[in-house]
Structure 1
Amino acid sequence: MSADLHRRAVVADTHNDLLMAVAARPPALWARFFRDRWLPQLRDGGVDLQVLPVFIDDQFRPEGALRETLRMVEAAHVLAEGNADEVSLCRDGEEIDRALADGKIALVLALESAPGLDANVELFSTMHRLGVRVASIAHWGRTPLADGSGEDATGSRLTSAGVDAVAELERLGVIFDVSHLGASGVDHVLELATRPVMATHSSARALRDHHRNLTDDQLRGVAATGGVVGVNFVAGFLSADPGGYTVDRLVDHIEHVASVAGIDHVGLGPDFIREVSLELTPPCCEDMSALAGFDVNAVVPGLDGPRGLPLVTEALLRRGRPEADIRKILGENVHRLFQKELGRPA
């Protein structure tokens, strides 16, 4: 029953860093590497809608950040064009619906921390022209726009350029992503927002007190905008105890977000970082484990990549969740939000 439900549902993953692994290859291999390494995983996991974040490692910051951002955006276009029979890079809800109707995986391009843009908010318009439809403005540390959650002790809100960035993204129809933003920054965005915001990959702070997770008030705030919280699968964000690195603990977070924010405002933001991290570290990548305070390569058994997504459907059924709720969690909520908001100017 769970396999049939998973197959029939729209499954949306709001955060997978696979583009980093693709862009690490020579350009001539981008499309083929995606087809050989990642496409089978996405198909086996039933993924219908995949958000592709552009994240830049410290080796490229600051001088090479914008160049590497553009290179990764180009990689997304090349892999989509080279696999046009299987995927489609989508800019709005109509393009997503067309891709799904054709049996293709709908890809949506995102910026994670807006690397290289700095305080040049006008460059968000450039990124929009290139197909970016989701964006965040900080990662672990400080940017010219805001502080990431690793700087929570500062208690800082958005900079004036960050405030301008919120307005510009709303104008363009690029969905603002609060994941990784510092706690005060999240609250600031929720005060400013006039359009739905997302947390593409954040779990519940009430269940795991980590700065990367959202408080109940923040969960309610995202829901109040009409947005969606994609629950993060990274084991250390689910539990402080490795004994809690289980699918059931993940479902605890999903259930908590649903109970606080509402069933219409929860989705899946797996953040399948392990394969990408192991491929690229060392020597290129920053030490995410040191920043996070736990081993970021530790995984929930069975959920080390997209192939494990049917386990989530199975676990939700065991909890007694009705099919309609499970379909919303798996992807209907994200699909609905993208249909309504993606790429639509204010």
Structure 2
Amino acid sequence: MTRRFRTLLAAVAVVATALGPATPVQADNPRRLTVATYNVYQGADLTVLFTAPTLPELVERAGLAYQQVVATDFPARARAIARLLAKTRPDVLGLQEVALWKKGPLDGPLQVSYDFLDILLRELRAVGLRYRTAATVTMFTGTLPISATEQASFSDRNALLVRDGLQVSSPQSHLYDAKVVVDTPAGITFNIPSGWIAVDVGVDRRDRVRLVTTHLDPSAAAVRDAQGRELYAALAGSPYPVVVAGDVNSPPTNTTGPYGKFVTGGYRDAWRAVHGARDGFTATQDPDLRNLPSLLDQRVDHVFHRPGRLVAVSAQLVGEAVRDRTPTGLWPSDHAGLVVTLRRVGW
């Protein structure tokens, strides 16, 4: 080997080291797509606000709810969630209850106190997972006094995160026509919409999947069922295979609700395809997240997919085991997450 050639090789090695590894252009295995859904919990039970009999009681309950947000410590929970996802490395992550909390003086500006999306993205990067936000939808937003001197605001969001390297196109963000309206005894009316988001993910135009996440209403069955019908109809014209990963608040026994609508309408339940009709419970822990034993006894978080060009090959829960809790004993969320790997066939 000539001296000039050795010198050239050494220069190339220095440049390669400085640049670092090349960014991948597709998923680790282009014939497999790993999809997760995780309701990360907004941090407090806000339904207690709806029954407050007077305005002073409403303010007191709002203050207690904000204290619960602080106590349920999303930064620590996000760290636990990131560690769990580092083991499964989903390509696409559908998130629900991605809260944005702000606080400030009663007559002054509000400052962000907890941005769940930013916090989780930071913790994912810390464990070596690099995601970008492909789509979000903001649903309910409200501001209330939480004491005689302070106020707080809450925004409820869904988000779709996609691992670096996957091509993303056609982001969509929608609110359902069907929504809940709550008139409280204290004289305050809460309008509570829900929504869904979607992106097309793939390597090229011939190899794309439409990924969807949603959070259907947890409290009003008629509204939830209407939302499920809206979503099903909206996805009917997709030119690509469809995957719906979300908290639909509808167990397999709900044959006339959203679960029944999707599985009788041509979608497969990925958990059932892999494991049959057993276990898979994803909800719900106590609002303070400190209960023992676990209270998960419902399967309401699902990954549905249209069969044919997609086959579910694995499905696992994350965040359901006692060992998954934070060092201070908090569950990562009041839900478990669901991670499904789909094999793409016929392409």
Q: TM-score higher than 0.5 here?
A: no
Q: Which has the higher strand share?
A: 2
TM-score range, shorter chain: 0.3 to 0.5
Structure ID, larger Rg: 2
The alignment's TM-score, normalised by the length of structure 2, stands at 0.37
Task: Looking at secondary structure, tell me which structure has more helix per residue.
Answer: 1
The normalised TM-score by structure 1 is: 0.37
